[in-house]
């Protein structure tokens, strides 16, 4: 802890500029709660949610973040013989800084997403079936950024994703649930 405080103390203040980031996290849809608990993800063959993003300032304390994520859940035989369930999303969020112009910056985040869900399953005769469904979502969350070096930083975001698909996928069309993410970013 003292190391981090020493590293961060005296760093230059945040300048609101373009940011590029990579994210690693976990998204836990409520409809899968019976299948796996939030803490058992790795034992159940779930890939962490990975993503890339880009942020830009649009006002004094407001920014726009555009990102894309990928998430997959494998070996879910209890859901109609589904072998894997994956989601691709494109997200557009407004980021409002609550603590601006500091090496530690807190913010709230709200926006929307489009989703593409893919279900891979097998039939009783072991043939493979593939089903894809589009969907949409709303995001609401909060997070913080920490400026570690002049151009590099890290952060954490907590979001709740309200996700609906147009048709059933693995027995449900509601994939709403909490998401936590850790990211590293490069600031121009």
What local confidence, expressed as pLDDT, does residue 85 receive?
Answer: 81
pLDDT of amino acid 127: 66
pLDDT of 2: 39
d(C-alpha 45, C-alpha 81), whole Å: 15
Consecutive 10-residue averages of pLDDT for the chain (188 residues): 38 64 89 53 64 93 95 65 82 92 89 92 70 92 92 95 87 87 94
Taking the model in full, what pTM does it have? 0.78
Q: What is the pLDDT of residue 188?
A: 87
Alpha carbons 54 and 71: distance in angstroms, whole number:
19
**Cβ–Cβ under 8 Å, residues 109 and 95:** yes
- Identify the pLDDT of residue 93: 97
* Nearest CA-CA partner of 175 in 95, 93, 89: 89
**Would you state the pLDDT for residue 170?**
73
Beta strand ranges found along the chain (DSSP E): 19-27, 46-57, 62-76, 82-97, 104-122, 128-147, 152-169, 172-174, 177-187
Which domains are present in the chain? 2-187 (2.40.160.20)
**CA 152 distance to own-chain centroid:** 20
């Amino acid at each position: 802890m003292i190391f981090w405080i020493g590293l961060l103390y005296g760093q230059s203040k945040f300048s609101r500029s373009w940011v590029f980031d990579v994210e690693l996290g976990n998204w836990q849809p409520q409809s899968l709660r019976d299948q796996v608990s939030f803490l058992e993800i790795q034992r159940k063959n779930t890939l962490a949610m990975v993503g890339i993003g880009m942020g830009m300032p649009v006002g004094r304390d407001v920014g726009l973040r555009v990102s894309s994520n990928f998430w997959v859940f494998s070996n879910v035989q209890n859901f109609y013989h589904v072998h894997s369930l994956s989601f691709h999303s494109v997200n557009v969020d407004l980021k409002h800084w609550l603590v601006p112009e500091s090496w530690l910056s807190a913010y709230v985040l709200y926006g929307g997403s489009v989703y593409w869900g893919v279900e891979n399953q097998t039939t009783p005769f072991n043939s493979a079936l593939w089903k894809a469904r589009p969907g949409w979502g709303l995001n609401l969350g909060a997070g913080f950024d920490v400026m570690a070096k002049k151009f590099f930083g890290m952060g954490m975001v907590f979001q709740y994703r309200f996700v609906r698909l147009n048709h059933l996928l693995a027995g449900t069309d509601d994939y709403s649930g909490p998401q936590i993410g850790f990211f590293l970013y490069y600031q121009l």
